[in-house]
Amino acid sequence: MSSIAERQEEVVEEFSMFDDWMDKYEYLISLGKELPLIDDEKKVEENIIKGCQSRVWLDAELKDGKIHFTADSDAIITKGIIALMIRVLSESSPKEIAESQLHFVDEIGLKEHLSPTRSNGLVSMIKKMKTYGIAFQAKA
Amino acid sequence: MSQAVSHKFNVEEVRKDFPILSREVNGKPLVYFDNGATAQKPQSVIDAVSNYYAHENSNIHRGVHTLSQEATTAYEMAREKMQQYISAQHKEEIIFTKGTTDGINLVASSYGRHHIKAGDEVIISAMEHHSNIVPWQMICEEKGAELKIIPINDQGELDMQAYQEMLSPKTKIVSVVHISNTLGTINPVKEIIDLAHQKDIPVLVDGAQSVPHMPIDVQALDADFYTFSLHKMFGPTGVGILYGKKELLESIPPYQGGGDMIKTVTFEKTTYNELPHKFEAGTPNIAGGIGTAAAVDYVNQLDWKAVNEHEKDLLDYATEKLRAVEGIRFIGEAKQKASVISFVIEGIHAYDLGVIMDKMGIAVRTGHHCTQPLMQRFDILGTVRASFAFYNTKAEVDLFMKALERAINMLK
């Protein structure tokens, strides 16, 4: 299994193929559409991250020392970015997640989506993913 | 100067007054349809603010030196211009604030603290912005009073019958929005005020969205309080106006304590300054005040009749075009409507539309527009809102439509 750093590099390389914003967003939208739906029973109040603009649900499970994330959003572009986050962070050890340095969103030119003015729930989601990493370290 | 002869309305000429309208966003010409959030500024306002800092900057009201006197004169001149513009009877009825929210908080706090008791009622409407809900909730909670809500119909119009029945001896104040920021509904504020006055109840009008679309005459309306922000009236940010009838303003206590609002201070007792200074603690937004004068001059030379025809034209044109979009649902279809269109498209999140349209240079607002209870009323989470100003054009509506269709295709 590859590391978080390696998976970030993969995503960056993938996005380097797009030369205009349309292609990039179309890809992001398709990622959003393909992201497996989160189970309805996990779409509960304690898993919701309320952004002003879009809502995000995040659930985490610890299996064999790795964290397995599932997530969802009502906005498809937000969901596309979530799909990338999950691809990069999920199935890693709690320690690796807690210590991860996420730079890929910047590098693929989607930094604006992590700006607080967007208020789409993504910034809080990343924080929460890392918090799960810290919390599960105690259990792992 | 302020009463300059109005020139025939020519949108291309008018656009030249607003430098930002010629910029590009994401490589595309900017189409600015977020005027409900803030309006763009004409060069004359920008120059007035910049000229103040370059040549007149000084603190006002108590300086004996030349600069301070010049700045004070300019600031007080702005107050007079505003008094004339909104047809207030007295200059001291014009209170400078930080904006609409600040004006509402001032009234809720000062009037509310003085006049609202346990068991009393405050009336607002179902289409209020959070800034005309929360300050009242806070004072009602503090006093044990009740907040009553005028319901609306599916078109987004107030239920005037219900309003009339709500007015009672327990009602201490009515606070309603003139034009809804989300729906565009123009409320019958004159009727609302008259009905309240029959029972001696004062009315505060939230005019945040009305000032960019019409001149206001507070005496004709007989409003007790009327508040708005200059940044939505083509003026600077961070400055607003609270108009209040003199006797009402005199009867209520100051809002904040500090410099400028006092007459004498000892550790035992402070006596308060006269109106309007009693409500203007601390160094105000002087540059904002001076920009206010320039904004008033600017709107004064507009031919409002022509402006309104142009805006109505834009509204009708865009509404007609949008009606053809598959899965569209308009939120707010009042008969009396300002140039604001809120809508949702079935199966597509407003946020996604906003993000994609921004890539094509189109600035619209998405989300709940700080009117969450209104969203709940229509059982939606948010809308896309296009709000037009007089400097917008049909050609821009065409670009907006093209971008919207493209975004829908991508997101479907």
Between residues A48 and B136, the one the model is more confident about: B136
Greatest mean pLDDT among A56-60, B63-67, B323-327 lies in B323-327
* Beta-carbon separation of B411 and A74 below 8 A: no
> Which stretches of B200-346 are DSSP H helices?
218-221, 246-251, 286-300, 304-323
Give the residue-averaged pLDDT of A62-67. 94
- The DSSP output letter for B59 is -
Average pLDDT estimate for B263-288: 93
**Residue A22 to residue B349, Cβ atoms within 8 A:** no
The reply to whether residue A74 touches residue B381, judged by beta carbons under 8 angstroms, is: yes
Q: What is the DSSP letter of B127?
A: T
| Candidates B370, B375, B380, B401; catalytic one | B370
Band of residue B3 on the pLDDT scale cut at 50, 70, 90: very low
- Tell me: pLDDT of A16 over 70: yes
Q: Of the candidates B26, B352, B354, which has its C-beta nearest A76's C-beta?
A: B352
Counted across chains A and B, CB pairs separated by less than 8 A come out at 40
Task: Please list the residues that pair with B34 across neighbouring strands.
Answer: B387
Could you report the predicted ipTM of this complex, rounded to two decimals? Answer: 0.91
Mean pLDDT of B259-269: 90
* Residue of B352, B353, B364, B385 to mutate for A, most A C-beta atoms under 10 A: B352
> Which residue is listed with tokens 């001896």?
B169
Q: Which residues between 366 and 385 in chain B have a beta carbon less than 8 angstroms from any beta carbon of chain A?
A: 366-368, 381-382
Distance, in Å, from the CA atom of A20 to the CA atom of B345, rounded to the nearest integer, reads: 26
d(CA B143, CA B308): 43
What is the pTM for the complete model shown?
0.94
Cβ-nearest to A54 among B26, B351, B359: B351
Cβ atoms of residues B373 and B133 within 8 Å? yes
Taking the C-alpha atoms of residue B180 and residue B156, their distance in angstroms, rounded to an integer, is 9
- Residue B37 tokens, joined: 């959030």
Quick check: B7 pLDDT over 60? no
Q: How far is B164 from chain A (nearest CA, A)?
A: 35
Q: Among candidates B292, B288, B249, which has minimal Cα distance to B80?
A: B292
> Which residues on A lie below 8 Å from B354 (Cβ)?
53
What pLDDT is stored for residue B8 in this prediction? 62
The answer to whether the CB atoms of A21 and B26 lie below 8 A apart is: yes
Interface test with B, best of A26, A54, A118 (most B CBs within 10 A): A54
Burial of B397 (0-12, 13-18, 19+ CB in 10 A): buried
Model confidence at A140, pLDDT cuts 50, 70, 90, reads: low
Cβ–Cβ gap B356/A75 under 8 Å: no
Task: Please name the member of A26, A54, A75 whose beta carbon is closest to the beta carbon of B410.
Answer: A26
Of residues A29, A52, A113, nearest to B410 (C-beta): A29
Determine the residue among A24, A29, A77, A81 to mutate to test chain B binding: the one whose Cβ has the most chain B Cβ atoms within 10 Å: A77
**Residues B155, B187: contact at Cβ < 8 Å?**
no
Residues of B in contact with A54 (CB under 8 A): 349, 351
**Helix (H, G, I), strand (E, B), or coil: what is residue B282?**
coil
Residues of A with CB below 8 A from B368's CB?
52
Which is catalytic among the residues A44, A48, A52, A134?
A: A52
User: Which is nearest to A103 in space by CA: A121, A85, A91?
Assistant: A85
Chain A: residues touching B (Cβ < 8 Å): 21-22, 25-26, 29, 52-55, 74-78, 113, 120
Distance (Å) of CA A125 to CA A51, A60, A68, A129: 10, 12, 14, 6
Residues of A in contact with B356 (CB under 8 A): 25, 77
B44-59 residue pLDDT tens: 999 999 999 999 999 9
Please report which helix (H) or strand (E) contains residue B401, including its range.
helix B394-411
pLDDT of amino acid A109: 86
CA distance A2 to chain B (A): 32
How is residue B99 written in tokens? 């904006």
For the segment B84-116, what is each residue's pLDDT rounded down to a tens digit?
Answer: 999 999 999 999 999 999 999 999 999 999 999
* Owner of token pair 């939230």: B206
Name chain A contacts of B411, Cβ cutoff 8 Å.
Answer: 29, 76
Whether residue B115 lies within 8 A of chain A, CB to CB, comes out as no
Taking the C-alpha atoms of residue B195 and residue A66, their distance in angstroms, rounded to an integer, is 67
Confidence of residue A44 (pLDDT cuts 50, 70, 90): confident
Query: CA distances (Å), B204 to each of A135, B171, B192, in order?
Result: 51, 13, 10
Q: What is the b/e burial string over B349-359, where b = at least 16 CB atoms within 10 angstroms of the residue's CB?
A: bbbbbbbbbbb
Closest partner residue to A21 (CB to CB) among B352, B359, B366 is B359
Contact status, residue B58 vs residue B273, Cβ threshold 8 Å: no
How many angstroms separate the most distant Cα atoms in chain B? 71
Provide mean pLDDT across the span A67-73: 93
Q: How far apart are CA B96 and CA B99, in angstroms?
A: 8
B370 classed as catalytic: yes
Task: Calculate the average pLDDT of chain B.
Answer: 96
Report pLDDT digits (tens) over B110-150: 999 999 999 999 999 999 999 999 999 999 999 999 999 99
pLDDT (average), residues A90-105: 94
Q: Is A75 in Cβ contact with B349 (below 8 Å)?
A: yes
From the candidates A18, A53, A78, A113, which should be mutated to test the interface with B, based on the most B CB atoms within 10 A?
A: A53
Cβ separation B356–A25 shorter than 8 A: yes
- Which residue of B lies nearest to A26 if distances are taken between CA atoms? B410
Residues of chain B neighbouring A29 (CB-CB closer than 8 A): 352, 410-411
Give B333-354 pLDDT, tens digit per residue: 999 999 999 999 999 999 999 9
- Smallest CA–CA distance from A79 into chain B, residue: B352
